[in-house]
């Protein structure tokens, strides 16, 4: 968890008997010795909420998400109203893609303090993943913090895209890109949306911009392949597809790892034809992807 944690300091003070262990673990964590810090906090003793929160944080740092969730749950068993434990558990569950459970944690926090934008954004993100874009949009609209504006703009754009309000979504994605021209996810979503409305010019423009940022982007290369195929520029399609397959082979990815819209538009027959063209041009049998 980061130092800017919105509920840091809300845990109860540790009992004197364990304060030395907690301080030792914190010191080790500060020096980046996470596994050693976690070792300090392992044992059979049932301890305070502060102990369990710190142990959960260390487990989260080590990507031991199930264990971290158990530690935060133990903290809540000790102090049911501990805001820090609720927040950390929500973040952990969200990382585990347990959207509904994470949402409940964030809802409890907002019931206590409705002005925490970071919590509201996390809740709205869970709602997006639960296919509730209208509810997510309502939460994004309630955010006010300038520091969270890029995330709010992106979240609102994603919600509007899911609601098929494409013009509004595109406007917001462009605002995101104005703030951060290297926002890959905004460009990827724009590409998917442009494909859905079959705006090939915008698909190509956004794919080229994404490719400048991420030269091996599967989404960008698939999008350019699609545009070239639609324009019957088979040489260009073959070039983009070759780059895509080379990137997929080196990264052990599947060509299907892109947006559903791109995969649908390319189709299996097109993929097979491009694989055949690639093999013919190289003179060496290739691995179909």
> Does residue 104 form part of some domain?
no
- DSSP code of 15? P
Q: What is the pLDDT, as a whole number, of residue 241?
A: 86
Quote the domain boundaries for residue 197: 183-283
CATH of residue 137? 1.25.40
Q: What is the pLDDT, as a whole number, of residue 234?
A: 85
One domain, residues 155 and 68: no
> Does residue 106 form part of some domain?
no
One domain, residues 58 and 81: yes
Q: What is the pLDDT, as a whole number, of residue 31?
A: 94
- DSSP code of 13? P
> Does residue 101 form part of some domain?
no
> Does residue 103 form part of some domain?
no
| Torsion over CA: 261, 267, 270, 276 (sign) | positive
Number of other residues whose CB lies within 10 A of the CB of residue 287: 9
Indicate the Cα dihedral angle 230, 233, 238, 239, nearest 10°.
-120
User: What single string gives the DSSP state of each residue in 36-49?
Assistant: HHHHHT-SS----H
One domain, residues 164 and 236: no
One domain, residues 218 and 277: yes
The residue from 61, 96, 131 where one domain ends is: 96
CATH of residue 50? 1.25.40.10
Whether 55 contacts 71, CB under 8 Å: yes
One domain, residues 188 and 256: yes
Q: What is the pLDDT, as a whole number, of residue 209?
A: 96
pLDDT per residue of the chain (289 residues) written in tens, 0 to 9: 544 566 654 444 434 445 778 889 999 999 999 999 999 887 666 678 999 999 999 999 999 999 999 999 999 999 999 999 999 999 999 999 999 999 999 999 999 999 999 999 999 999 999 999 999 999 999 999 999 999 999 999 999 999 999 999 999 999 999 999 999 999 999 999 999 999 999 999 999 999 999 999 999 999 999 999 888 898 888 898 888 888 766 554 444 444 444 444 555 555 565 556 555 555 444 433 3
Integer Cα distance of 107 and 120 in angstroms = 8
One domain, residues 84 and 170: no
Integer Cα distance of 157 and 174 in angstroms = 10
Q: How far is CA 70 from the centre of its chain?
A: 23
| Number of domains observed in the structure of the chain | 3
One domain, residues 54 and 88: yes
Indicate the Cα dihedral angle 27, 30, 32, 33, nearest 10°.
10
One domain, residues 240 and 260: yes
Listed in sequence order, the residues at least 6 apart from 254 whose beta carbon sits closer than 8 Å to its beta carbon are 248, 289
> Does residue 278 form part of some domain?
yes
Q: What is the pLDDT, as a whole number, of residue 61?
A: 96
Backbone torsion region of residue 265, taken as left when φ is above 0, otherwise alpha when ψ lies between -120 and 50, otherwise beta: alpha
One domain, residues 82 and 127: no
| Torsion over CA: 276, 277, 283, 286 (sign) | negative
One domain, residues 230 and 165: no
> Does residue 128 form part of some domain?
yes
One domain, residues 176 and 191: no
Question: What backbone torsions phi and psi does residue 84 show, to the nearest 5 degrees?
Answer: -60, -45
One domain, residues 238 and 261: yes
- DSSP code of 216? T
Whether 225 contacts 194, CB under 8 Å: no
> Does residue 276 form part of some domain?
yes
> Does residue 108 form part of some domain?
no
């Amino acid at each position: 968890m980061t130092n800017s944690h919105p509920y840091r300091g809300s845990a109860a003070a540790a009992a004197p008997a364990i304060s030395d262990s907690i301080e030792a673990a914190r010191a080790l964590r500060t020096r980046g010795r996470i596994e050693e810090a976690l070792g300090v906090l392992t044992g059979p003793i049932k301890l305070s909420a502060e102990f369990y929160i710190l142990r959960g944080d260390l487990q989260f740092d080590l990507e031991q998400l199930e264990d971290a969730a158990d530690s935060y749950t133990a903290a809540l068993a000790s102090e049911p109203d501990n805001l820090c434990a609720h927040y950390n558990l929500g973040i952990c569950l969200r990382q585990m893609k347990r959207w509904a459970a994470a949402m409940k944690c964030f809802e409890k926090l907002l019931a206590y303090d409705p002005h925490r934008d970071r919590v509201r954004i996390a809740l709205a993100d869970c709602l997006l993943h639960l296919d509730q874009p209208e509810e997510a949009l309502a939460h994004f609209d309630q955010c006010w913090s300038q520091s969270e504006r890029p995330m709010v703009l992106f979240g609102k754009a994603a919600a509007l895209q899911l609601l098929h309000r494409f013009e509004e979504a595109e406007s917001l994605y462009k605002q995101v890109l104005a703030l951060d021209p290297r926002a890959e996810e905004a460009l990827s979503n724009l590409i998917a949306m442009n494909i859905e409305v079959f705006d090939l010019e915008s698909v190509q423009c956004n794919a080229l911009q994404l490719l400048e940022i991420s030269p091996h982007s599967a989404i960008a290369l698939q999008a350019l392949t699609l545009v070239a195929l639609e324009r019957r520029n088979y040489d260009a399609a073959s070039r983009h597809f070759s780059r895509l397959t080379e990137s997929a082979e080196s990264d052990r990815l599947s060509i299907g790892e892109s947006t559903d819209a791109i995969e649908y538009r390319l189709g299996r027959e097109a993929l097979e034809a491009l694989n055949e063209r690639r093999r013919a041009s190289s003179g060496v049998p290739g691995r179909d992807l």
